[in-house]
Copies of this chain bind each other. A is one copy, B any other.
Amino acid sequence: MRIKIINPNTTWSMTEKIGACARAVARPGTQIVAVSPAMGPASIESHYDEALAVPGLLQEIAAGERDGIDGYVIACFGDPGLKAARELARGPVIGIAEAAMHMASFIGSRFSVVTTLGRTIGQARHLAEAYGMERFCANVRACELPVLELEEPGSQARERIVAECRRALDEDGSDVIVLGCAGMADLCEHVADVLGVPVIDGVTAATQLVESLVALRLRTSKRGELARPLPKPMAGLLEGFSLAR
């Protein structure tokens, strides 16, 4: 099967890292296609960034449909454009916050999310609630790390994340850690080794979930809210997004 992992920001070093992490856990027969959209922000740290990442993301979903992709992962912890993507796709689409939070609920009693900037805490909380995972989410914590610092070789990102995770275990009464940024995917194993509790990265979790849904032949329901969007004119810069009838 072919799974497309879309990093909705345009920082390709992160996209490659994400692709590598996904490939490391994918099943033998699975082909992982990891891309960034042709348009949008270099990183996603606000609702504004999320909103502007979505058109490029949807373009990649539409291209994937033409290419016969079996399922998709949206590799940003805000899960931008998830429902719109589901309308476009025949197969399943999973967001990495969604994947990580659900997986956490299977192996522990309560999880803490450790994310980048404090201003994104609200979105993580909102997603936990929208997914029904609020009851498992003991806390959302920020390291006040800008996303792109995770891409800088000499940064102290890893140390700060580990330190915040420790505080989470001590203060929140949680027994599982969820990493709150796709750019942390490569740190997952290290953090788990250091802490001695399960640590979940959404990129690999979502990859597995999409593979599972495809294996089960479960596709996005086309009855009701997630049916294919009605074709209609799109004006201006976004003209190219008009759907064919």
Q: Chain A: residues with CB nearer than 8 A to chain B?
A: 10, 25, 27-28, 37-43, 45-52, 54-56, 58, 81, 83-84, 86-88, 92, 94, 98, 102-103, 105-110, 118-123, 126, 130-136, 146, 169, 173, 175-176, 196-198, 200, 204-205, 208-209, 211-213, 215-216, 218-227, 229-230, 232-239, 241, 243
Contacts and interface: CB of A to CB of B under 8 A. Distances in A.
Given A107-B213, A175-B226, A221-B176, A83 B235 contact: no
Nearest to A102: B102
Contact of A106 (B47, B51, B213): B213
B175 A229 contact: no
A51 to B, nearest CB: 4
A230 B223 CA distance: 38
- This protein's copies in its complex: 6
16 contacts: A37-B236, A40-B235, A45-B232, A46-B230, A52-B54, A52-B55, A56-B236, A103-B218, A108-B225, A108-B226, A120-B225, A121-B173, A169-B223, A173-B224, A198-B221, A205-B216
A211 to B, nearest CB: 7
A143 to B, nearest CB: 15
